[in-house]
Amino acid sequence: MKKLLKEKKFKAEKGGFTLVELIVVLVILAILAALLIPALTGYIDKAREKQVIAEARQAVMATQTLADEAYAANPGGTITLTSADITALAEVKGTVDVTTAGMTFNAKGVLQTLTYTAANGKICVYKANPAAGEETYTITN
């Protein structure tokens, strides 16, 4: 009989986790979350920058396509493009600076610089260096 009472008493004491054990687990999870959040926000920022660069590339290709058409119609003439035409062809939500400060062409109608402002406010500046065969995309803001 004593043996049976000891077994029942032992089973009753072993009911689950204590409050201290649960608090320790929660503290460990909070520390892990605090370590991971900065890393995740860094990845999110990089992804947004890559998205802006991709949109700027689309705008550059659309601008060059429209410039080629304008140059073919009037070789050596002034190339006049609108931001609405470029963004419609590129299918982007941002805007292109079509002023002489934001977009320049060489004498053959090849795009040299372009300033693209994404919908989230980030600005991407494209610069071409055909002699070196290089293109650069710089994010500001």
Report the DSSP beta bridge partners of residue 129.
Answer: 134
Strands 123-129 and 134-140: antiparallel
- pLDDT of 7: 60
Give buried/exposed letters for 43-79 (b at 16+ CB in 10 A, else e).
Answer: eeeeeeeeebbebbbbbbebbbebbeebbeeeeeeeb
Quickly count: other Cβ atoms within 10 Å of residue 134's Cβ.
9
Q: At 91, is the pLDDT very low, low, confident or very high (cuts 50, 70, 90)?
A: very high
pLDDT, one tens digit per residue, over 54-76 is 999 999 999 999 999 988 888 87
Which pTM does this prediction carry? Answer: 0.72
Q: Is 1 helix (H, G, I), strand (E, B) or coil?
A: coil
- pLDDT of 50: 95
pLDDT, one tens digit per residue, over 13-35 is 667 889 999 999 999 999 999 99
